[in-house]
Amino acid sequence: MNKQSRHETWFRMDNSGKIFPEVSSHRETNVFRVAISLTEKIDNVLLQQTVDTILARYPMFKVKLKKGLFWSYFDYNSKPFHVEELKHYVCGEISPKKNNGYLFRVMYRNTDIIIEMFHSLADGAGVIKFLKALTYEYLVLVGKDIKPDNLVPTKNQRPSMEEYEDANTKFYDKKNKKHVPEKRAYRIKGSPLSEDLTGIISGTMSTSRMIRLARENKMTITEYFAALMMYTIYITQIQYRGQIKSNQAPVKIFVPVNLRKHFPSNTLRNFSNFVKVGMVMTEDDISFEDLKIFVKEQFEKGMTKSELIRKMSENVKFEKNIFLRFTPYFLKKYALKIGYNMLGMKLNTMSLTNIGKVDFPESMQPFVFDVTAAVYAGKFNTVNCSIMSYQDRLKISFTRSIVETTIEREFFRHFTDLGIDVEIESNYVEEY
């Protein structure tokens, strides 16, 4: 990239993001949401002014998707960006034609600022940085006396080249790229919602109480939730019905991993991989204790640096395949779509995304009440889950493309049975 004109030029998509434009659809949107709740109602006019200002600091988001000879790429977008009021849908398809070419939305409702992002542009960690910077500049604009305290980049700081980098190609190892074949995963069953609707149910609990619970079980919060998710799917969908053929596929929980915590990178683009825990659950007497032991072992294996590099390298190897690289785009997109539909999205039962704790400068904290995240739910992965925490509020958000809420109810009941308070919210789409 030309350093002198990088703010208004094109750049390549990162390794992880290249697949999404070719496999996304009205239902399989590959869109995720992060949101922040402030203590005062949002002024949409000032929010629009803030976005106009902040996009100059984050030019990697001021882009549109273009189709090249061999791959899609990002080009500078000179059109205006429009903030909009939040609609009832969650993580709906982002149509470039309806969105002035942009691959993300900024929305508002009452005290909330919401960003929805197409996954080809960034991952959760990258968008959290963008949301924090946007919130900071908005609060400055409305007259709050706050300081960044080196926790939030301000509009006056120049973007670094590292923010643009495709860190996957920086840290992969061409010698460690073994492919591990997988079986199709169990699919959570239910009655489909209308394609324009996604259900969301969130539960908020004490962060400190959940940390204590996980430590009592010698697990991390993510490990505990992954084991509980498998157990919940088992008792609500499979137990005593193992003879049914569809129930004999392994239940697989897909857990994204922020690779910035394992490799030195400040990229704002996609730089995540995954740990996957999976088990065939046809026996009638699988206990939660059994699953806690199993999941912890799987995490210990999947979180080794060698295994994270292997998965990263496998993806980069696919992109660098000489045949694929020089296959024209109009042929490549059909091959990628067919392969993804046949296998890719069917390898996971659901995703469990823990974005983690969000920190704000001390001077900002009186004006921030809550944070939340959500990922789209599609035709195959009918239920997904996201986790974020701020101070002593840990929020778990389930999104679903089916009417039934049995899994969510059983999941949260586990905590209330332990005497842990859970504050439940829902958009009640099943009543529409």
Greater model confidence, 18 or 408: 408
Q: Domain boundaries in the chain?
A: 3-151+162-171, 199-431
Q: Do 3-151+162-171 and 199-431 fold alike per CATH?
A: yes
State which CATH number among 3.10.450.350, 3.40.50.620, 3.30.465.10, 3.30.559.10 fits the domain covering 199-431: 3.30.559.10
CA 135 to chain centre: 20
Percent of the chain with pLDDT over 90: 74
Which CATH class name applies to 3-151+162-171?
alpha beta
Flag whether pLDDT at 94 surpasses 70: yes
Cα angle 192-106-400, degrees, rounded to a multiple of 5: 15
Residue 427: per-residue pLDDT: 92
The answer to which of 20-29, 58-67, 300-309, 377-386 has the lowest mean pLDDT is 20-29
Greater model confidence, 75 or 340: 75
Task: Please state the pTM of the whole predicted model.
Answer: 0.94
Mean pLDDT for the chain overall: 91
Q: What is the pLDDT of residues 107-140, one digit of tens each?
A: 999 999 999 999 999 999 999 999 999 999 999 9
Q: What is the pLDDT of residues 296-339, one digit of tens each?
A: 999 999 999 999 999 998 878 766 665 666 677 666 666 666 65
